[in-house]
Amino acid sequence: MAVIVASLIAASSGCGGHQDTGAVHDLRPTPPSVSHGQPTRGQPRREPSSSAGCNAAAVLGTWSLERRAAQLVVVPAEEDDVPAIRPLVAEGVGGIILFGSDGPADLAANLATLRHDAAGGPPLLIMTDEEGGGVQRMANLVGNLPWPRTMAATMTVAQVRALAEQVGRRMREVGVTMDLAPVLDLSDGPGPDAADADGPRSFSINASISAAYGLAFAAGLQEAGVIPVVKHFPGLGQASYNTDFGPAYDPPLPVLQEASLRPFEAAIAAGLPAVMVANVAIPDLTGSLPATLSGPAMTGLLRRQLGFRGLILTDSLSADAVQDAGYSVPQAAARAIEAGADMVLFNAPDPSVTTNEVIASIAAAVNSGRLSTASLDDAVEHVLMAKDFSLCR
């Protein structure tokens, strides 16, 4: 389905405050006819790339299931203890996510060591949450960002784009290659707290403003060489609860289509490369199942209906919403890949143990027939595309 979206990032001559840069065109996709309970990957496979007689699909076929599964895993790491995950990087995990509030002075050197450990294979995606306001992991190293709501209220889209580029360049200097931002959720609540995951993490309750500022932030990161990840699809701003603390439900799909989905439609139309899916349930699409585990949400709505062809990441599968749905992290990881995710995120007291369990769970899903080899390879290819890495080199 073609989606036509008005351009949402325009140069502004104002000195501050937001400008509504135009309405996002209406999109009312018919909910995919996939049962609530069955995750299904349905993204059409790309033609295998080839160069000088090299067939990428054939090369990928020489990898073990465990090696392929490892590329789909994002390992949590504390900023002040990055060396602890070196063995996992050497084993070929696809990425790491940095947690903390102040980056240590030796962070760049430690991340350079991790990149060296990954040498010889696909590069490592090094990601963190540098959203602004109270959600920043290394502001002491890359500079402060205001809360997104404050940015939209006091800055032009051009200023936000320039600020994101400035911070993004400093992130690249440290060694970070992916920012789990911007937030495209629509919220005007107080949060973030147990009731509201967003609060001022959201640029606006207005879909056009949120899209304009979110896309400007993402464009600035891209200009700096950092991959932006828009989140939290299909929107957490109107959710009944914070998924970190328990089950949460979005409004029905027709209501989401009126506003919450529009910034994501704009991001897809703009060709942004990555989307994070929330652990929120949509009653008339996923039943009580979190979207991160739902084929109708990821393969049906995001891929088929909205036409997204980039990288899909899950929100943390350690969230209480996932655990309350009856899934351990390893079980949820396999289910998420079956449903259409490409990379899985989680937190764990012992990342090494949990990472190995997640890899084993994904491989077991292939061996049992729940996840086809073709679908596993499709996810790996999405990861390699995000890394701009070719198997035919």
3-class DSSP assignment, residue 310:
coil
CA distance 305 to 284: 16
Lowest mean pLDDT among 28-42, 51-65, 81-95, 110-124: 28-42
Mean pLDDT of 126-154: 97
Residue with tokens 């931002």: 181
User: What pLDDT is recorded for position 42?
Assistant: 54
**pLDDT of the residue at 119:** 86
Domain ranges of the chain: 51-386
Task: Provide the pLDDT for residue 2.
Answer: 28
pLDDT per position as a tens digit, 337-367: 999 999 999 999 999 999 999 999 999 999 9
User: 262 vs 41, which has greater pLDDT?
Assistant: 262
Q: Can you read off the two tokens belonging to residue 358?
A: 């997640």
Q: For residue 95, give the H/E element and its range.
A: strand 95-99
**In one letter, which amino acid is 121?**
G
Q: What is the CA radius of gyration of the chain?
A: 20
The candidate with the shortest Cα–Cα distance to 202, out of 255, 135, 254, 266, is 135
> What mean pLDDT do residues 201-224 have?
98
Distance CA 219, CA 200 (A): 20
CA atoms of 257 and 388, how far apart (whole Å): 32
pTM here is 0.89
Structure tokens at 240: 């009944």
Q: Which of 12, 5, 1 is nearest to 216 (CA)?
A: 12
Q: Which residue from 223, 212, 102, 96 is spatially nearest to 168, judged by alpha carbons?
A: 223
Q: What is the pLDDT of residue 47?
A: 41
> How much is the pLDDT for 52?
56
Distance separating alpha carbons of residues 313 and 231, to the nearest angstrom = 9
Residue tagged 């490409």 (tokens): 342
> Quick check: helix, strand or coil at residue 349?
coil
pLDDT at residue 173 in the model: 98
In this predicted structure, the answer to whether residue 46 has a pLDDT above a threshold of 70 is no
What's the mean pLDDT in 24-28? 34
C-alpha 23/C-alpha 4 separation (Å) is: 11
Interval 4-8 mean pLDDT: 29
SS3 letters for 1-48? CCCCCCCCCCCCCCCCCCCCCCCCCCCCCCCCCCCCCCCCCCCCCCCC
Q: Inform me whether the pLDDT recorded for 3 exceeds 60.
A: no
pLDDT of residue 65: 97
| Interval 179-202 mean pLDDT | 96
pLDDT mean across residues, the chain = 89
The reported pLDDT for the residue numbered 72 is 98
The C-alpha angle with vertex 31 and arms to 304 and 267, in degrees rounded to 5, equals 50
Tell me how far apart the alpha carbons of residues 294 and 316 are, in angstroms, rounded to a whole number: 15
* Residues whose CB falls within 8 Å of the CB of residue 111, separated by 6 or more in sequence, listed in order: 82, 126, 174, 175, 176
CATH of domain 51-386: 3.20.20.300
Amino acid letter at 44? P
**pLDDT at residue 17, as a whole number:** 46
Please state which of the ranges 14-23, 66-75, 190-199, 208-217 shows the lowest mean pLDDT: 14-23
pLDDT of residue 118: 92
What tokens were used for 45?
């496979």
Q: Quick one: average pLDDT of 35-44?
A: 52
- Are 350 and 29 spatial neighbours (Cβ–Cβ below 8 Å)? no
Q: Is the pLDDT of residue 37 over 60?
A: no
